[in-house]
Structure 1
Amino acid sequence: MERRERADAVRNRQAILRAAEELLRLHPPEQVSVERVAVAAGVGKTTVFHRFGSRTSLMRELMQERAHEMELAVTAGPPPLGPGADPAERLVAFFAAVAELAARNGNLLAAHEHAMLTRRSAAEQPREANPTYLFWHRHVSGLIAQVRPDVDAEQIAHMLLGVLHMEPIASELRAGEHKRLAASYADMIRGLLKG
């Protein structure tokens, strides 16, 4: 019985994530509610809340699924995104990959931002506590610190990552525009790391 419940829980989780992803593809983020996700997944609203806790957590988990592949590329993939390349070139490759990921998933990012802004509980973790954000921040600040130990690498990493959430940039990413952002990141990073 326990094994069957676990299998059901895994199936429900996948069905909920797939339903949320499909709804985000078809509708503006503010129209993708927990209720709509539950109906599309064929589960009860309480099942969604039991598994994810909130709409914010559901969007965060979906984002983490999408970011997982990139994390593998950063930690074990080939250079320049993976280990073995110059830190500046790794940063340029990383932000190009982030910009592309954001452009492919614009509605998901917008849904997550909307969920963060409308969250009902102050106990829900802020963006900066998100495991994906923490990984990205450690990676970026670590690479900056390798080349420029004289600057506040942690603060600069927050600033570089925060650009993704600025409305003019987010709007371009939702429209699928990522090459311009990637080129601007490359200019900023190369200028910063020249010292």
Structure 2
Amino acid sequence: MRRQLPVLGQPQPERADAARNRQKIIECAARMVADRGADQLSLDEVAREACVGVGTVYRRFGDRAGLVYALIDERERCFQEAFMTGPPPVGPGAEPAERIRAFLAALVDRIVDQLDLFLLLETASPKARFSGPYGVHHRHLATLLAQARPGSRAGFLADALLAPVNARLISYQRDERGLGIEEIKAGFDELTRALLTPRQAPRAPSRGRPEAGP
């Protein structure tokens, strides 16, 4: 049985007609994004394209962020399955520090894969921005950080590491700074290594031999 991951927060079963309408709406929205770009996504236009009432779209998805979550749902579930149950180093079986580095690199690829939709999601309210996939990513990363650095403020560190892994910054680094995706991932790897490398206590200054007297 396929694991139901907490992406949309709507795991309840649907009636057959509701499921058909939902799929029709998602397919129309996906076509509109492919043809016009994610920033032109409008729930009213999606309703017209899907030949359903506007109220149906709003009741089913709530707002544009809810529809975006639905559009990224399938690939997000595959991504979550990879780091929850997949092979190492992204999945279980590798050391926590190695899994953290692999997870962040995979997350960069995940965002680039649907960059326009993640850009749109980041314009939503903070509640929408930090729910859905972000909450799952944060819990996973905080768990690994607690294992890699016992006693650390793992929740805060997880937020700090996830903060720069966002569509706006990745888009800016790629388009304005001219960085390739592999360079961006290498930067995150360097940042993570710096965070996880144990600090060495400063060595006491060595005392030279006393100078001989005259």
- Greater helix content: 1
Structure 1: runs of 5 or more not aligned = 118-124
Q: Which of 162, 178, 182 does residue 181 from structure 2 map onto? A: 178
Greater relative contact order (CA < 8 Å, ≥ 6 in sequence) = 1
Residues 86 and 92 of structure 2 are in contact (CA less than 8 Å); yes or no, is this contact kept in structure 1? yes
Q: TM-score, normalised by structure 2?
A: 0.76
Number of residue-to-residue matches in the alignment:
183
**Would you say 1:191 and 2:194 are equivalent positions?**
yes
Deviation of residue 111 (structure 1)?
1.6
CA distance in 1, matches of 2:27, 2:112: 19
Q: How does 1:27-106 map to 2 (within 5 A)?
A: 27-106=36-115
Which residue of structure 1 aligns with residue 119 of structure 2? 110
Please tell me whether the aligned partners of residues 28 and 107 of structure 1 are also in contact (alpha carbons under 8 angstroms). yes
Q: Is the partner of 1:115 in helix, strand or coil?
A: coil
Distance verdict in 2 for CA 1:131–1:168, change over 3 Å = closer
Taking only the aligned residue pairs, the percentage that are identical comes to 37
Please, which moves more after superposition, 152-161 or 19-28? 19-28
Moved over 6 A (4+): 173-176
Q: Which structure 2 segments of 5+ residues have no match?
A: 1-13, 199-214
How far is the alpha carbon of 1:83 from its aligned partner? 0.5
> Cα deviation per residue 1:103-140 (whole Å; 9 max; x = unaligned)?
110110112123338xxxxxxx3422x13211110111
Distance apart, 1:71 and its partner CA? 0.7
Cα distance change, pair 42–173 in 1 and its aligned pair in 2 (3 A):
farther
Distance 1:171 1:32, change over 3 A: farther
The normalised TM-score by structure 1 is 0.82
Distance 2:112 2:196 in 1: 26
Q: What amino acid does structure 1 have at the position aligned with 2:51?
A: G
Aligned to 1:131: 132
Shift in Å, 1:147 = 1.3
| Two-structure CA RMSD over aligned residues (Å) | 2.4
Amino acid at match of 1:110: L
SS at the partner of 2:164?
A: helix
Contact 2:97 2:196 in 1 (8 A): yes
- State how far apart, in whole Å, the 1-side matches of 2:28 and 2:147 are: 42
Deviation of 1:54 (Å): 1.2
Structure 1 position 177, deviation (Å) = 5.2
CA distances 1:133-181 after superposition (whole Å, capped 9, x unpaired) = 1111011111111111243211111111121337332445689953222
Alignment match, 1:121: none
Shifted more, 59-68 versus 142-151: the winner is 59-68
- Displacement of 1:64: 3.4
Asked whether the 8 Å contact 2:65–2:128 carries over to 1, the reply is no
Write the deviation string for residues 56-101 of structure 1: whole angstroms up to 9, x where unpaired: 2111232333311111111111111110011112112111111111
* Secondary structure, aligned partner of 1:114: coil
| Alpha-carbon spacing, 1:116–1:65, altered in 2? closer, same or farther (3 Å) | farther
- Residue in structure 2 matched with residue 143 of structure 1 by the alignment: 144
